A and B are shown apart, each in its own frame.
Chain A
Amino acid sequence: MTLVNYFDYIILPILTISVILVFIRLWRGPSVVDRVIALDLIITIGIGIITVYSIRQNQKVLLDVAIILALIAFLSTIAFSYYIEKQKDD
């Protein structure tokens, strides 16, 4: 088994199943904060998927997208928590 096949048939399916499981929590989440951390985890897993895909395709350019996604995940969680904490103040 070559490394490309290993990434195709083992690693990427595991990451895909992880995204599906987190999406169930995003769908059900009883409160809004559950949905916020589920979204944050989906973006973090997306960084991992992009990394594995860039290794598998030999495309090192794709890592730039991962940097931007890490920034967006952090900023969105901070913004969500800031406004969730302020929402009762009006």
Chain B
Amino acid sequence: MIDLLLAFLSTVGALAILFASIGILRMPDFYLRLSVTVKASSLGVGLLLICAAIMFPDDASVLTKALAIIFFLFITTPIAAHMIARAAYFIGTYLWKGTIVDELNGMYDKETHKLNSDPDAAIDKSTGPEDDQIADTEQETK
């Protein structure tokens, strides 16, 4: 019975990790890759660690370690993803060419690195399809 539970949980976890890696390979631009990767890999690793906690029931240290890793991953992965996405938008990584709206357009002050939240006070807002950060061809983000 425990074996069946372990097999089920580890299969779901491994498949979630596999979907994350297919997503990072197939998604069309950096921001979509990031959003796929973070959620699916957190779920997969969390399920595998729960497997480890079930596997050694007589040892409290394994349960503590597994819960510590899950807690740490769930706290730090969104922070890391937020910081790398912010840096990527700052250095001008292109969005996918099918992107409808880019709400961050002109909102970052390039000198002070501050985020402006009022859309009317945007700095040098780019308007044309040539000078915005949405890619013009599929090849630029592939």
Measured CB to CB, the residues of A under 8 A from B are 2-3, 6-7, 10-11, 14-15, 17-19, 21-22, 24-25, 30-31, 33-34, 36-38, 40-41, 44-45, 47-48, 51-52, 54-55, 60, 63-64, 66-67, 70-71, 73-74, 77-78, 80-82, 84-85, 87-88
Contact = CB atoms under 8 A, between A and B. Distances in A.
A2 B3 CA distance: 8
Contacts of B24: 21-22, 25, 37-38, 41
Contacts of A78: 79-80, 83
Nearest to B24: A25
Interface of B: 3, 6-7, 10-11, 13-15, 17-18, 20-22, 24-25, 30, 33-34, 37, 41-42, 44-45, 48-49, 51-52, 55-56, 59, 61-62, 65-66, 68-69, 72-73, 76-77, 79-81, 83-84, 86-88, 90-91, 93, 113, 140-142
Contacts of B37: 37, 40-41
Nearest to B10: A11
Which secondary structure characterizes the binding site on chain B? helix
6 contacts: A15-B18, A37-B30, A48-B45, A55-B6, A55-B51, A70-B76
